[in-house]
Structure 1
Amino acid sequence: MSDARAQMPDAARPGPGDRPQEIGFILVPGFALMSFASACEPFRAANDLAGRTLYRLRYFGEGEDEGEGARGGRVASSSGTEVPTEDLPRERGDLHTVFVCAGGEPTGWDRPAIHAALRRMARYGVRVGGISGGPYLMAAAGLLAERPFTLHWEYAGATVEAFPGARLTRARYVADADRLTCGGGVAPLDMAYALIAERMGTAFARRVLDWFLHTAVGAADDPQRASAAERYGVHHPALLTVLEAMEKTVEAPLGRRAMARLAAVSERHLDRLFLERCGVRFSAQYRAVRLAHGRRLLRQSPLRIGEIAAACGFSSAAHFSRSYRSHFGCSPSSER
């Protein structure tokens, strides 16, 4: 290799980067604008930094006869910003990867035309991905059976209820051969880094993220949410153990004795810790965690109130409704 060629930056070297890679985004009305931007902007920046077209981006939406919320070639995001789109892809063409981006509530994601488009692209051998709520639509299209995947943590409960056998993880993103799923928010920046690095090398991918002042690249299996210590504002190890256990056992709540044993403290000491460090009783905190889960299911899933009550560990729909009204000031039915 000549000295001149050895000194060429990654993006200028001949090889797989020579032919533009076409990446499509299927936008569902109400899609999360930040997640979408975090996913597409790194590829646009890569083109600018390379001084040539490494990636060609396309944006797709349902036509007026394909789905509710379609607006003749424009799809509105969660903030109302509209993105010009072309009709859903029917042929592979030059598409290498296609992502479906969704936000809002899963009750609005019954999109047969999009499900069909995703299945069609998968049959053609296009790599299919989902961002934020997008993996939910992939699961609904039957593309994630027996596949590990992730999506935004807010939709985890509704996804588990809708797809009981789902291999859902809490990772920032999951790359499983020809399936890519991502939790949304700023996590697509990390996923884009991995995809660009795979194609163009880590040095060039790092330049892309530096463009966005994104100096700490998250690993694929990094958690999506802050730790329990940060979310609850407590640092006592026994309390953290119990709080994390509460979040994992909403459907089958553990008793105080079992929780105290788990934290290696007495029941009396556990009660005292909750009152002193959290300002509420053990039972009140546990109920709040379960009711918060119920609220997400009410907003995001089509489950009946009785089914949601059971999924939150309540003995009956009436018990759930009374607790819900006492905690949130409204009934479950009015919430829905």
Structure 2
Amino acid sequence: MQKRDVYSHYSDMASDDLKNVQKIGFILIPGFALMSYASAVEPLRAANLLAGRDIYALSAHVVEGNAGMTSSGIPVPAAPLPGRGSGFHTVFVCAGGTPVDWNVPAVLACLRQLARDGVRIGGISGGPYLMAAAGLLEDRDFTIHWEHASALVEAFPGLAPRQARYVLDGNRITCGGGVAPLDMMHALISERMGSDFARRVSDWYLHTQVESSGAPQRASLAERYGVNHPGLLMVLEKMEATIEAPLDRQAMAKLAGLSPRHLDRLFSSQMGSSFLLEYRKLRLDHARRLLQQSPLSISEIAFATGFSSGGHFARSYRAAFGESPRAHRQPGSFERP
């Protein structure tokens, strides 16, 4: 009786939508994050419960086997990859880990075929990288998890991901992963069923603070660094934006309207560090991600992170991480030296 009452409450508002079931598929790449997947699937399941009937039909798919393995080692039952004429409304590809794990030709071919069939294609967390590899993001507005953004730009120089929680661009949907799919699904359910219904779904999961598409993926600079001086924050922001071509201390101080000595004092008092040490740490952390996630050679990574030579880069890297750049690169992940 309760289900019928809920259904009748919404049937006048969205009768056509409630009569039609949208097939939503999820292609799972081994090592995908369970949190990202659950954040996308659970709102759709709750929508079915609140509607009193299935308005979404959900399925998971893998290249081989009968389950997708999450990064935490939990298997998710799955069917083979969808083929032509499978009747899907939307198919998301969910990926985690690093791009070296995402070179799955069968998935790329599947995504291209689905796109040709008019299926809306989505990517969650690292999923947009596979969409890019399949050629589905040309001239599109899109996002990707911030950790994978630099690797995507290096692999596909013509593409520029936006730092947003999720992006809806017609028949292409991309999302940063983590809990961001909760916000994305709120938008998609609202688009189909209305904002009141979508709010009820979000309330089901205590998701009271629904973020907009353009909300940031990461905490603010002030929160990440634990500082609040506007001049220092300006310099830290510029540091993150100039990893490939670092600016010197004098130029940074001038940008923030500070003297070099005042800038030194701010780094010492608020961060317990120095301008040079923090800048080098940012660049080496970025280099570490590129070693794990991009096909760039070690020499190319050195120049992409502002080091004048491969030798200087290798010495700095070993001092910071206790091993050489070559040792940090995953065995067999990339062919170039």
Q: Please say whether Structure 1 and Structure 2 have the same fold, judged by a TM-score greater than 0.5.
A: yes
2:32 maps to 31
What does 1:184-223 align with in structure 2 at a 5 Å threshold? Answer: 184-223=177-216
Amino acid at match of 2:51: A
1:81 aligns with one of 74, 79, 82: 74
Conservation of the 8 A alpha-carbon contact between 1:190 and 1:219: yes
1:51 maps to 52
2:236 maps to 243
1:169 and 2:162 equivalent?
yes
What does 1:85-234 align with in structure 2 at a 5 Å threshold? Answer: 85-234=78-227
Query: Which digits, 9 at most, give the CA deviation of each residue in 1:110-134, with x for residues without a partner?
Result: 1100000000000000000000000
Q: Identity of aligned pairs, percent?
A: 61
**1: CA distance between counterparts of 2:12 and 2:302?**
59
How many residues are treated as equivalent by the alignment? 323
**1: CA distance between counterparts of 2:190 and 2:19?**
15
**Post-superposition shift, 1:15?**
2.2
**Post-superposition shift, 1:29?**
0.5
**Post-superposition shift, 1:16?**
2.1
**1: CA distance between counterparts of 2:167 and 2:68?**
26
1:313 aligns with one of 291, 301, 306: 306
**Post-superposition shift, 1:214?**
0.6
**Post-superposition shift, 1:10?**
2.8
Amino acid at match of 1:298: L
Conservation of the 8 A alpha-carbon contact between 2:18 and 2:51: no
Q: What SS does the corresponding residue of 1:150 show, helix, strand or coil?
A: coil
Conservation of the 8 A alpha-carbon contact between 1:147 and 1:167: no
Q: What SS does the corresponding residue of 2:173 show, helix, strand or coil?
A: strand
Greater shift, 308-317 or 9-18, is seen at 9-18
Q: Scaled by the length of structure 2, what TM-score is found?
A: 0.94
**2: CA distance between counterparts of 1:286 and 1:100?**
35
Amino acid at match of 1:238: G
**Post-superposition shift, 1:229?**
0.4
What is the root-mean-square deviation of aligned Cα atoms in Å?
Answer: 1.3
Amino acid at match of 2:21: P
1:292 aligns with one of 277, 285, 288: 285
Amino acid at match of 2:124: I
**1: CA distance between counterparts of 2:299 and 2:85?**
44
**1: CA distance between counterparts of 2:193 and 2:155?**
38
**2: CA distance between counterparts of 1:43 and 1:119?**
25
Conservation of the 8 A alpha-carbon contact between 2:144 and 2:163: yes
Instruction: Could you list the structure 1 runs, at least 4 aligned residues long, displaced by more than 3 angstroms after superposition.
Output: none
Query: Which digits, 9 at most, give the CA deviation of each residue in 1:31-69, with x for residues without a partner?
Result: 111001001110001111111001000111102xxxxxx
Query: Which digits, 9 at most, give the CA deviation of each residue in 1:204-232, with x for residues without a partner?
Result: 10010111111000000000000000000
**2: CA distance between counterparts of 1:256 and 1:217?**
40
Provide structure 2 residue ranges, at least 5 long, that are not aligned to the other structure. 330-337
**Post-superposition shift, 1:18?**
1.7
Conservation of the 8 A alpha-carbon contact between 2:63 and 2:107: yes
**2: CA distance between counterparts of 1:191 and 1:104?**
21
Conservation of the 8 A alpha-carbon contact between 1:10 and 1:201: no
Conservation of the 8 A alpha-carbon contact between 1:12 and 1:50: no
1:267 and 2:268 equivalent?
no
Q: What SS does the corresponding residue of 2:89 show, helix, strand or coil?
A: strand
**2: CA distance between counterparts of 1:11 and 1:148?**
34
Provide structure 1 residue ranges, at least 5 long, that are not aligned to the other structure. 64-71
1:19 maps to 20
